[in-house]
Structure 1
């Protein structure tokens, strides 16, 4: 389900966020942004694979690992394996039809 939450996201740089089972968007017009929606749907699949709670635990641990290593919050975010997969495949609107389980694993950086 897609929900527009202008007030919740208005003072952030976030255009969309997935909090299973919802995709929250900053702008109503982003409901038509196929790339953004596909990116967030990839996160939905990742969350399902890790039974939701383990996704969030892994996400936070990986973020802090990269943050302490890189000393840059934006780079830490971009290095998270879940984000790397979602950004790499967001343009492929058929990706979820062929995506193998745990595909984010190959995006773990060294």
Structure 2
């Protein structure tokens, strides 16, 4: 997995997974991306692969739009997307991807 540091330092976004890469904030270039953040993005890469990449992005954006329409808060909408919930809850577990079952993100739909 290759990490590219191209997100502007002024952005609130630290990193994002865009198959097959991780795009990171330029402010992280000198100190590097934390292992927890890398695990978080690797979980997204696995989710993208499971959904054959393009459907992942369609689902992600669609779920965000629905949740944003319901709660009227874009940050809350982002944090409650099933893909994000799985990644945030499990990004501290060093071997999560080794034990993770396929389509595990479905458990985080609510």
Give TM-score scaled by structure 2 length.
0.92
Question: Any gaps of 5 or more consecutive residues in structure 1?
Answer: none
What displacement does 1:81 show?
A: 0.2
What displacement does 1:25 show?
A: 1.3
What displacement does 1:9 show?
A: 3.0
Q: Which residue is equivalent to 1:18?
A: 17
Higher helix share: 1
Q: Which residue is equivalent to 1:4?
A: 4
Tell me if structure 2 keeps the 8 A contact 1:2–1:25. no
Question: Any gaps of 5 or more consecutive residues in structure 2?
Answer: none
Using the alignment, how far apart are the partners of 1:30 and 1:76 within structure 2? 28
1:30 has 2:32 as partner: yes
Using the alignment, how far apart are the partners of 2:82 and 2:108 within structure 1? 5
What displacement does 1:63 show?
A: 0.1
Structure 1, residues 6-57: CA drift from partner, whole Å, max 9, x if none? Answer: 4x332311111100000111112233x1100000000000000000000000
Report the 3-state secondary structure (helix = DSSP H, G, I; strand = E; otherwise coil) of the residue aligned with 1:17: strand
